[in-house]
Structure 1
Amino acid sequence: MKKVALAADHGGVQLKDEIIEYLKSKQFDILDLGTNSGESVDYPEYGAKAAVAVTNGEADCAIIMCGSGIGISIAANKFKGVRCALCFDAYTAKMCRQHNDANIMALGGRITTIDRAKDMVDLFLETEFEGGRHQRRIDKLDALAAESWK
Structure 2
Amino acid sequence: MSAGETRFYAVRTVVGRELDVALIIERRVMEHISKGEDLGITSIIIPPGIRGYVFIEAANPAGIYKVISEIKHLKGGNPILVSKEELERLVKPKLVVESVNVGDVVEIVRGPFKGMRAQVTSIDRNKNMLTVSILEAAHAIPITIPGEYVRPVRKGE
Shorter-chain TM-score category?
under 0.3
Query: Of Structure 1 and Structure 2, which has the larger fraction of its residues in helix?
Result: 1
Query: Of Structure 1 and Structure 2, which has the larger fraction of its residues in strand?
Result: 2
Larger radius of gyration: 2
Higher RCO structure, 1 or 2 (CA under 8 Å, sep 6+): 1
TM-score, L = length of structure 1? 0.24
